[in-house]
Structure 1
Amino acid sequence: MELMIGIGMCVALALMVVFAPLLSAHEPDVNVLENRLQPLGTAGHWLGTDHIGRDIWSRLLAGLVWSSSAAVSATFISLTIGAVLGLSAAGIDGWPRTTIRWFTDTVIAFPGLIVAVCVIAIIGQGWLPMVLTLGFLGWPVFARVTYAEALSLMQRSYVTNARLQGVGRWSILGGHLLPGILPTLLAMTAFNCADMLIAESALSFLGIGAPLGAPTWGNMLAEARQYLLREPWLVFAPGIAIVIVVVAANLLGDGLTQRFRQKGPAPLL
Structure 2
Amino acid sequence: MLFFKSLPLLVSSSLLAATATLAASPSSLLLKTPVITVTSSEGSTLASHQLEPPASLSSPITLPPLSTFKLAFQLVDEETGDGVVPHQAHLSFVDVETGKDAVIPLNVRANGRARFEIDTASPPSVLLPTSGSFALTLNIGSLSAPKPISYPLLTLTLPSALLHPIPSTQGPTDHISGSFAKQPTIEHTFRADEKGVNPVVSLVATAGALGASWVVLVSLISNLNLQYTSKAVSIPFLATLVALESTIGVYWIGYIKLFKFLAIFSFIGVASFFTGRQALRRGGVPN
TM range, normalised to the smaller chain? under 0.3
Structure with the higher fraction of residues in strand conformation = 2
Structure with the higher fraction of residues in helix conformation = 1
Query: Max radius of gyration: which structure?
Result: 2
TM-score by length of 1: 0.20
TM-score by length of 2: 0.19
